[in-house]
Amino acid sequence: MEEPVIVQKHSLKMEMEAGTYFWCSCGRSKNQPFCDGSHKGTAFRPVRVVLDEPQRVKWCMCRHSKEGPFCDNTHRVL
């Protein structure tokens, strides 16, 4: 089974506008934390995230969170 690339062992906090985003689940994107298509040829697919209102988001950058694209602090035990 393929493992995602650990980009960093802490979250990326961003102020986000309402809208649809595609989180990179493979860790290979050059446009972190968002997908740029680098997953092509792997088992990974981007995760669609819809934000209904502006909010601060803690994006998972280790790609091991049980909360999908959102950080749950799993990076602390990697």
pTM: 0.94
Q: What is the pLDDT of residue 1?
A: 80
Is there a cis peptide before residue 33, judged by omega within 30 degrees of 0? yes
Q: Where are the domains of the chain?
A: 12-77
Walk along the chain (78 residues) in steps of 10 and give the mean pLDDT of each run: 94 98 98 98 97 98 97 96
